[in-house]
Structure 1
Amino acid sequence: MKVLFFGDVVGEPGLRALERELPALLERFAPDFVVANGENLDLTLPEQGRAGMTLASLERLFRLGVDAVTGGNHSFDPPDLEAVLGHPRVLRPLNYSPLAPGRGSLLLEKGEKRLLVVNVVGRSALPLAVEDPLPALERTLVQEEGAPVLVDFHSESVFEKMAAAYALDGRIAALLGTHTHVPTADARILPRGTAYVSDVGMVGAEDGMQGYDPAFLVAAYRLRLPPKSLRLAYAKGPVRVSYVFLELHGTRAKAIAHASFLGEGALS
């Protein structure tokens, strides 16, 4: 089985980049499933620095051939989060409150091929609001029915992601880190067959902070409050496209390839 996974897609620049680049990548890799992290797809409340997803942007991803969209700490930012997280192909962190809208895992099926996608968030990203991700993952693995498991682990901490990967090595096909938007150079297959990378990186504009114009973020960093005179905006310039390509055999990984390249500018 072949799987293509994209790191955090950041707004209009990231969407346009995928619309431009994904058709060629689909032809090149012929993946059975495509998954993307979409928690930064939209500016939902830019005056407060909030991101998230909208149904309109999600539909653009699905039209491109994306099968499932994962989330993270921004999953709960949108004002219409019930509608967004209620979409059958959208995930939010599994280890958030079980009473919150949405789901933390999704079984994808195409013919005889099946892939269980699971989304968790680390305590470094949502320190006060979530359960420890490892017990939540282990409970889900007890319930799963033999399909290979792909985990999007959304966390600031490499230690958090790496420890979970080794704890679950051989029980999941892949643990792919997201959240920092910075691609790491440690893609590998662990001893018992789990593919791992600390952070896939982003699909977003390179000339800024994590795909965003720095002005709002720097001011908020100084004030520890959203600056009243600014709004969060996307960065400009060339767009970095970061992805992982997996080849799975049964419930374990056979190969992992991690790539990150600069494409054309998406916004002028």
Structure 2
Amino acid sequence: MTDLGSQRLTGKVAFVSGGLRGIGLACVERFLAEGAEVVLSDLDAPDSALASEVRGRLGQAASYVQANVTKEEDWQRARDAVQSRHGKLHILVNNAGIDLTGPVESLTMEGWRRIMDINVDGVFLGVKTFVPLLAEHGKEFRGGASIINVSSIMGLVGYTDTSAYNASKGAVRLFTKSIAVEFAKKAMPIRANSLHPGFVVTPLLQEGFQRWVDKGAAEKPQDLVDAVAAQTPLGRLADPAELAAGVFFLASEDSAYMTGAELVMDGGWTAQ
């Protein structure tokens, strides 16, 4: 049974983008359970119902900053918030992302640019902005600071009607490998790894399935959930907390010898 009270991240500070929902929120909760202090960001206004509810539930060890990951000035403001509140950073989780589906000939340039802006540019800007702080404080712990970029199994394999999403998540995968080598060659105390979830029960997945239903692909979202589960060797979709366990591993000293690697958590999907 997983021990969620081991406090193995005590003394560490983490930043999680897209932290109000799904995998991001699960990561925030796991980090807090392990003793870290966390700054999370999302698009919601600080006084929105969701942001207020999450902040109230998480407690004083977590703080929130509204940020659009496509805007460099928002990342700089987030960095200033981390610097002001904690003065250091050891873990960066670039989790914010969107999806886009449809035959390639039906995609618009606007849609293509938007998914690249959020899924790729957002990761680049997060790394660019926080590297100096991570490098400065990474030496405080064995294995250094840790960057975890959330990609997808769709960054490893192709899939019908997901070309834009595949391209964005594939970019995250190779960007992560490149910075991992760059930091290691420069003897910077920062590791970088990518997480590749399969199908996870999140608001993003549910919204995506609803769009497929609206297109006539199924009668209801649960039909699509059942179909995906049937195609997954483990026979089910993942819970966000299971993915957060993988992120915790990459953030912890247990993964001190891992950099430039891909952690695939997909119930066996890509093993077929």
| TM norm structure 1 | 0.43
Q: Choose 1 or 2 for highest CA Rg.
A: 2
- Which one has a larger percent helix, Structure 1 or Structure 2? 2
- Which one has a larger percent strand, Structure 1 or Structure 2? 1
| TM norm structure 2 | 0.42
